[in-house]
Chain A
Amino acid sequence: MEEVIRLEGVKKYYEVRSGLLGSKILKALDGVTLSIRKKETVAVVGESGCGKSTLGRVSLRLLDVTDGRVFFKGQDISMMREEELRAKSFRKKMQIIFQDPYSSLNPFMRIGDIVAEPLEIHGYRREEIREAVYRALEDVKLVPPEEFVNRYPHELSGGQRQRVNIARALVLGPEYIVADEPVSMIDASSRAEILLLLKSIRDSREMGVLYITHDIATARYVSERVAVMYLGEIAETGLTTSVLKTPIHPYTILLLNSVPEPDPANRRRRRPVIKGEPPSPLNPPSGCKFHTRCPVAIERCRIEKPALTEYLPGHFVACHRAEEIMRGALSVT
């Protein structure tokens, strides 16, 4: 299948004030390579602050890259000017769905107008607008659409509002969508509905999706591939089935162990945890950035940065001890 998005060695640095006078470089993304094909979802998981949203925004060129390249359908857009992005219709073809279904919808606008807005901005005709809005509402199962177009956001549940957000992202016929924590603020009982919906729309509209999440368990149901990030870098990436079944990077293994499952036996055991918190990205550790929290770190980890290396087919890991872990010669938990 055709590649929709490709990032090559993407870096995004911020200059942030530190102390009274000085400034420091914050490496939000530090050399990320990733691609997404049509009808494919790649999940990006990791702790707060590891760079997930930055990755999403850079891939949409909502943020400029510091270094590296971003390709949309084979064309380098990393330096493309805004007018050109628009003239080539790239802006329409790349959309984002935000986390918060409550504040992201204008409370004074009707659902129909909210969904129509992007089309109006792009100067579509009335009939076209009506048709695209109805189709999008049908796609997100806000049916019958004529019943929803006249409602206001407060009349909808969190899950329904998030579906309005998705419809709004769909009206311009995108080929690439970034879904940034699309279900983290809605009730557990509606999450699966939204995620499964996103997946089926992705297939019917043949889109590529970047699914950003804290919740690695949901990645399983919606993504073909997953990238686990730590402090602006990819620690492990591969087919979702492979990474979840055979996690190799100590961080991934421990992250998976932190996910609660409903088992009454849990209360008699302590959970294996990752000690401490992610270090400040202003002052990242040398070598492997995970070494300060890694239970199996060795001297080499402090000094030398491990390269992302293929250990299983299509399954890459950046860890000096990956080979031992994979062989079962070393236990992380």
Chain B
Amino acid sequence: MSGALAVEDLRVYYRTDRGAVRAVDGVSFSLARGESLAVVGESGSGKSTLGLTLIRALPANASVVSGRVYIEGEETLSLSLTDFRRRYSWRVISMVFQGAMNSLNPVLKVGDQIAEPLIYNGETPRDEARRRAMEMIELVGLPREFYYRYPHELSGGMRQRIVIAMSLVMNPKILILDEPTSALDVTIQAQIINLVKELIERFSLSVIFITHDLALASDIADRIMVMYGGQIVELGSAERVLGEATKHPYTEKLLASIPRLRGETIPEFIPGRPPDLASPPPGCRFHPRCPYVFDRCVKEEPPLFKVGEGHVAKCWLHGE
């Protein structure tokens, strides 16, 4: 597997009246071709900001303070936006936005919304675009006639399928899915996850799957990247991150907080709240909530230490 995507020392801050919010603060990782990487973390940990940065769709008050993003070998943050949109958006990398199923245009037929990128970004003739949109609708498990429906005529699960169809309409190689099932019932969630798996295989997609749910991540992820307060705190194979291997205390607690259907363990909780990214705590950002905190954690920020094969954790417990 060679690289689909590589991110180096990315920092993305939002300008707010409370000062700079350090939403993504020194993030580096890579994504191999055909690999699925889950990005997991609590609300406000910077997951969506990371995704939006990769597809160059950040809001106006955000700025990329540092970093490089390589897509298939080419650095893309330095490209002009027009250039990026022309060459990468939709056709190389695309994103299913968080909550997108609820922000479809209410007055446009869903089929036309799927066809839109083809017409405007791909200069495809209209009937050709329509044919392609219908194919996509079928591909995500809906009848072709749904082309002519409006968003309000569809259930949440159906709208999520439409949004997925839209993201794939120009055959991208890299797909970012931001919480694609969080508003859905578990029964519908399971259907959508099966669909996503099928599509990943069929199109050999490289995937970044953003979720707050570690259990759900295990459905898709080859590797899992855990974010806390705008930083990566752990990155490793799904087997290692979810299994018995030593891990970051945050990941450990997050795993322990998942209610299980079987077994005797009672779910735990992490006291306190995630850091305020306008003034994050010194040292390790997790230290105010960490059960293992010691002197050094309060004073000094830990680097990512190697804790196993291809497995790193940002915690002094694993350092010198």
Contact = CB atoms under 8 A, between A and B. Distances in A.
Contacts of A256: 261
A218 interface: yes
A266 B218 contact: yes
Contact of A189 (B158, B216, B257, B266): B257
A189 B42 contact: yes
Contacts of A274: 187, 190
B187 A221 contact: no
Contact of A262 (B187, B190, B197, B218): B218
Contacts of B156: 48
A273 B190 CA distance: 6
A234 interface: no
Interface residues of B, number: 50
Contacts, number: 128
B216 A260 contact: yes
B191 A273 contact: yes
Interface string A187-229: 1111111011000000000000000001111101100000000
Contact of A258 (B42, B157, B187, B270): B187
Contact of A271 (B193, B214, B270): B193
Interface in A8-57: 47-48
Contacts of B217: 262
Contacts of A187: 42-43, 212, 274
A249 to B, nearest CB: 14
Contact of B218 (A190, A216, A260): A260
B54 interface: no
Interface string B219-260: 111100000000000000111001100000000011101111
Given A187-B212, A262-B214, A277 B188 contact: yes
A190 B254 CA distance: 10
B29 interface: no
Contacts of A190: 269-270, 273
B261 A220 contact: yes
Is the interface on chain A under 10, 10 to 19, 20 to 34, or 35 or more residues? Answer: 35 or more
Contacts of B220: 267
Count chain A CB atoms within 10 A of each CB in B185, B237, B266 and give the residue with the most: B185
Contacts of A214: 185-186
Given A267-B221, A267-B222, A261 B215 contact: yes
B212 A188 contact: yes
A274 B254 CA distance: 28
Count chain B CB atoms within 10 A of each CB in A159, A218, A267 and give the residue with the most: A267
B147 to A, nearest CB: 19
B255 A262 contact: yes
A263 B155 CA distance: 29
Contact of A264 (B191, B212, B243, B254): B243
Chain A contact surface mostly: helix
Contacts of A142: none
A189 B253 contact: yes
A157 B186 CA distance: 26
B213 interface: yes
A135 B55 CA distance: 51
A113 to B, nearest CB: 23
A132 interface: no
B189 interface: yes
Nearest to A156: B273
A244 to B, nearest CB: 6
A263 B242 contact: yes
B268 interface: yes
A47 B183 CA distance: 12
Contacts of A254: 187
A261 B265 CA distance: 14
B218 A47 contact: no
A81 interface: no
A255 interface: yes
A196 B36 CA distance: 35
A280 B266 CA distance: 37
Contacts of B253: 189
B225 to A, nearest CB: 15
Nearest to A217: B259
Interface string A234-259: 00000000001000000000111111
B194 interface: yes
Contact of A267 (B157, B218, B269): B218
A270 interface: yes
A215 B259 contact: yes
B267 interface: yes
Contacts of B194: 270-271, 273
B269 A217 contact: no
B125 interface: no
B272 to A, nearest CB: 8
Contact of B259 (A192, A193, A257, A267): A192
Top 7 A-B pairs, shortest CB-CB distance: A157-B273, A193-B269, A192-B267, A264-B238, A260-B215, A217-B259, A189-B270
Interface of A: 47-48, 157-160, 187-193, 195-196, 214-218, 220-221, 244, 254-264, 266-267, 270-271, 273-274, 277
8 contacts: A191-B269, A220-B259, A258-B190, A260-B193, A264-B218, A270-B197, A277-B157, A277-B158
Given A192-B268, A267-B219, 7 more contacts: A157-B273, A159-B273, A188-B257, A188-B258, A192-B267, A254-B187, A260-B186
